[in-house]
Amino acid sequence: MNEQKEIKILSIESSCDETAAAVVVNGRDVRSNVISSQIALHTLYGGVVPEIASRKHIEKINQVIAQALDDADMKLSEIDAIGVTYGPGLIGALLVGVAEAKAISYAADIPLVGVHHIEGHISANYIENKDLEPPFLCLVVSGGHTHLVRVCDYGKYEILGRTRDDAAGEAFDKVARAIGLGYPGGPKIEKIAKEGNPDAIAFPRAKVADGAYDFSFSGLKSAVLNYLNGCRMKNIPVCQADVAASFQQSVTDVLVEHALRAIEEFRMDKFAIAGGVAANGTIRNALQEACQKKGVRFYHPSPILCTDNAAMIGAAAYYDFLAGKRAGLDLNAVANLKLGE
Amino acid sequence: MKILALDSSGLVASVAVVEDDNLLGEYTVNYKKTHSQTLLPMLHEVAKMLELDLHTLDAIAAAAGPGSFTGLRIGAATVKGLGFALEKPVIPVPTVDALAYNLWGVSDVVCPLMDARRQQVYTGLYEFCEGRMQCLLPQCAAGIDEIIEKVNRLKRRVIFLGDGGNVSAPRIRERCTVPYQFAPEHMNKQRAASVAALGRLLFENGNVRTAAEFQPDYLRLSQAERERQERARETGV
């Protein structure tokens, strides 16, 4: 029998407003993926409140972990490693997952692997695309991040560009609030934009002069706010759907343009997206179409793996584990952790 | 009966192991490093020194609050993780009670003062009666003047302790009308040994939780919730 040993990883994620745990075997086989979302709670405040998020994490974390093991029909003693997100994210929220993971790792004598949240998002693509292997390009777009990353190898990343100000998802939230759609902005804008004209309003497509692949979305957000103000002053009724569609088109155009340029320059034949905004169908379709025209294979996680989850952390932890990465009992949460540190 | 106790509610990080009426080991650090980096390595050191098999523990006690929100959560997540992995019960020990227990047996009234920011302290009033600690005022967040007034009304000698002592000292000197003293350095901050000792009593009274049930007791809402309530009150909604 030439049976390879299965590496079973219990992973924990608590960097923002989802308390999540999963069991992933050999990095790609998800046995369980439990997510306890706090969105309803934060909606009252128009965005994530860090202290409330941290309190909710500590309230739920043991149940979520127990459920993940239960769903996978596994005991803690069968687990080979524990993976945990230790940054970037909300410090108080991250600390809950990190302290919990360290305590379990110590008490049960199971190796611990610290995982970068963005590395997790990128690795979400491995789960449903068994053929995907580095090198490839990955665009990570979420409420907290906008990164264009060259994945050179497992665990080896080169950041080509990042946002200079707001993350793309953050711009969605802010614009949604400005036109009265509420939180979370992404799905709400996408929904109403379907009824609007994407060419109705000419919002800017920002370029960053000294960073070929960097992004800037605060100018776009301001342009939307200015437009809304202008309408108010002139007493012109605002068409929510047109504003949403035109704003979304502007974000899409910028993302597609960056993607295509990077594909050309680095001669990549594989392109992946990840992060909460990757669940946006309009953006995903535009990128997919652009890639297809270039003969580039396009990968994307299904929506449940786009938003924050622990399965993606388990996928990333597997490759880190194979590479020999281990975290000590002094592992700390790092709010602004850089990729590749 | 063997109890592991942790306290990370304030600036101090402290770990202790108590077996029946013996303190087997205690490790207390009051230094700028974050609890997230110190607490578990400290436990590891103590366990190594004591050749402690964690599975032989009967329960894990933790200073459950009040205290620094983040500090409480680091402690809570640590005991929840330990309790989960070891399948051991967890004992929530009120932080201010445990602090008062440092002064077991004194005849004066004990008044812990933990710095709670926003011009407040986490405090309470305690006395010892035939070896048992009695609570005269349960732990709460209060303005320093408010607690001094309560102390004055008791018309008894009082001992203050805790990391709120320093910031409160000028006010106490100005307003306290009863004889008072500040406890010395070997007993004036959180100690896991006190958490363990008090935890043992709570355990015997059945005051235990599963690791999943254990929650910090913040004694305070988050700022966002507080402001939201205030707005609701103002608008009468």
Q: Tell me the per-residue pLDDT of B2-35, one tens digit each, with 9 for 90 and over.
A: 999 999 999 999 999 999 999 999 999 999 889 9
Is B237 strand, coil or helix?
Answer: coil
Q: What is the mean pLDDT of residues A187-193?
A: 95
Interchain pair A54, B70: CB under 8 A: yes
Q: Are A10 and A79 in contact (CB under 8 A)?
A: yes
Does residue A13 carry a pLDDT above 60?
Answer: yes
Gap between the Cα atoms of A148 and A150, Å rounded: 7
Q: What is the four-CA torsion angle of B164, B168, B169, B175, rounded to 10 degrees?
A: -140
Q: What are phi and psi of B138, to 5 degrees?
A: -60, 155
The DSSP call for residue A146 is E
Q: Are A319 and A9 in contact (CB under 8 A)?
A: no
Q: Which residue of B has its CA nearest to A45?
A: B224
**Dihedral sign, Cα of residue B217, residue B218, residue B224, residue B226:** positive
pLDDT tens for A62-84 read 999 999 999 999 999 999 999 99
Q: Is residue A111 packed enough to be buried (19+ CB in 10 Å), middle (13-18) or exposed (0-12)?
A: middle
C-alpha closest to that of A315 among A170, A189, A155, A158: A155
Largest CA distance in chain A: 78
Token pair, residue B59, equals 């329960």
Report the gap between the CA of A232 and the closest CA in chain B (Å): 27
Interchain pair A103, B78: CB under 8 A: yes
Q: Phi-psi region for residue A295, left (φ > 0), alpha (ψ -120 to 50) or beta?
A: left
State how far Cα A147 lies from the chain centre: 10
Share of residues in chain A with pLDDT > 70 (%): 99
The DSSP call for residue B111 is E
Q: What are phi and psi of A269, to 5 degrees?
A: -110, 5
Q: Are strands B120-129 and B132-143 parallel, antiparallel or unpaired?
A: antiparallel
> What is the predicted pLDDT for the residue at B161?
98
Question: Which residue stretches of chain A are H helix?
Answer: 39-43, 50-71, 91-108, 117-128, 168-178, 185-193, 218-233, 240-266, 281-293, 303-306, 311-322
> What is the predicted pLDDT for the residue at A47?
85
Does residue A247 carry a pLDDT above 90?
Answer: yes
CATH class of the domain defined by B103-182: alpha beta
Report the gap between the CA of A90 and the closest CA in chain B (Å): 12
Specify the domain boundaries for CATH 3.30.420.40 within chain B.
Answer: 2-95+190-227, 103-182
B73 CB neighbours in chain A (<8 A) are 54-55, 57-58, 92, 95-96, 99
Q: What are phi and psi of A307, to 5 degrees?
A: -70, 170
A45 CB neighbours in chain B (<8 A) are 224, 228
> What is the predicted pLDDT for the residue at B235?
82
Among the partner residues A54, A104, A332, nearest to B36 by beta-carbon distance: A332
> What is the predicted pLDDT for the residue at B153?
98
Largest CA distance in chain B: 61
Among the partner residues A61, A106, A333, nearest to B44 by beta-carbon distance: A106
Token pair, residue A280, equals 């946006």
> What is the predicted pLDDT for the residue at A3?
56
> What is the predicted pLDDT for the residue at A1?
46
Strand intervals (E) in chain B: 2-7, 13-19, 22-29, 59-65, 90-94, 109-115, 120-129, 132-143, 158-161, 180-182
ipTM above 0.85, yes or no: yes
Report the gap between the CA of B30 and the closest CA in chain A (Å): 17
B211 CB neighbours in chain A (<8 A) are 62
> What is the predicted pLDDT for the residue at A144?
86
pLDDT tens for A95-106 read 999 999 999 999
Note which residues in 44-63 of chain A have CB less than 8 A from chain B: 44-45, 49, 51-52, 54-55, 57-59, 61-63
Gap between the Cα atoms of B156 and A28, Å rounded: 68
Report the gap between the CA of B20 and the closest CA in chain A (Å): 22
Q: Are A82 and A11 in contact (CB under 8 A)?
A: yes
Q: What is the mean pLDDT of residues B205-210?
A: 97
With bands split at pLDDT 50, 70 and 90, how would you rate the model's confidence at B76? very high
With bands split at pLDDT 50, 70 and 90, how would you rate the model's confidence at A215? very high
With bands split at pLDDT 50, 70 and 90, how would you rate the model's confidence at A4? low
Domains and CATH numbers, chain A: 8-125+306-322 (3.30.420.40), 134-301 (3.30.420.40)
Q: Are B40 and B81 in contact (CB under 8 A)?
A: no
With bands split at pLDDT 50, 70 and 90, how would you rate the model's confidence at A212? confident
Mutating which of B8, B40, B227 best tests the A interface, going by the most A Cβ atoms within 10 A? B40
pTM of the predicted structure, to 2 decimals = 0.95
Report the gap between the CA of A57 and the closest CA in chain B (Å): 9
Interchain pair A103, B81: CB under 8 A: yes
Q: What is the mean pLDDT of residues B177-181?
A: 98
Q: Does A70 touch chain B (CB under 8 A)?
A: no
Q: Are A246 and A175 in contact (CB under 8 A)?
A: no
With bands split at pLDDT 50, 70 and 90, how would you rate the model's confidence at A143? confident
Among the partner residues A45, A102, A106, nearest to B224 by beta-carbon distance: A45
Share of residues in chain B with pLDDT > 90 (%): 94
Interchain pair A329, B78: CB under 8 A: no
Q: What is the mean pLDDT of chain A?
A: 95
Does residue A340 carry a pLDDT above 80?
Answer: no
Q: What is the mean pLDDT of chain B?
A: 96
Interchain pair A96, B212: CB under 8 A: no
> What is the predicted pLDDT for the residue at A2?
46
The separation between the first and the last C-alpha atoms of chain B, rounded to the nearest angstrom, is 52
> What is the predicted pLDDT for the residue at A341?
58
The DSSP call for residue B130 is T
> What is the predicted pLDDT for the residue at A207?
84
> What is the predicted pLDDT for the residue at B5?
98
- Looking at this protein, which amino acid is placed at residue A42? H
Q: Are A18 and A307 in contact (CB under 8 A)?
A: yes
Report the gap between the CA of A68 and the closest CA in chain B (Å): 13
pLDDT tens for A160-171 read 999 999 999 999
Does the N-terminal peptide bond of residue B112 adopt cis geometry, omega within 30 degrees of 0? no
pLDDT tens for A252-299 read 999 999 999 999 999 999 999 999 999 999 999 999 999 999 999 999
Domain B2-95+190-227 maps to which CATH number in 3.30.420.40, 3.40.190.10, 3.30.360.10, 3.30.70.100?
3.30.420.40
Q: What is the mean pLDDT of residues B201-205?
A: 96
Does residue A39 carry a pLDDT above 50?
Answer: yes
- Looking at this protein, which amino acid is placed at residue A151? V
Q: Is residue A337 packed enough to be buried (19+ CB in 10 Å), middle (13-18) or exposed (0-12)?
A: buried
Q: Which residue of A has its CA nearest to B222?
A: A51
- Residue B178: count of CB within 10 angstroms of its CB: 15
Residues forming a β-bridge with B94 = B65
Gap between the Cα atoms of B218 and A44, Å rounded: 21
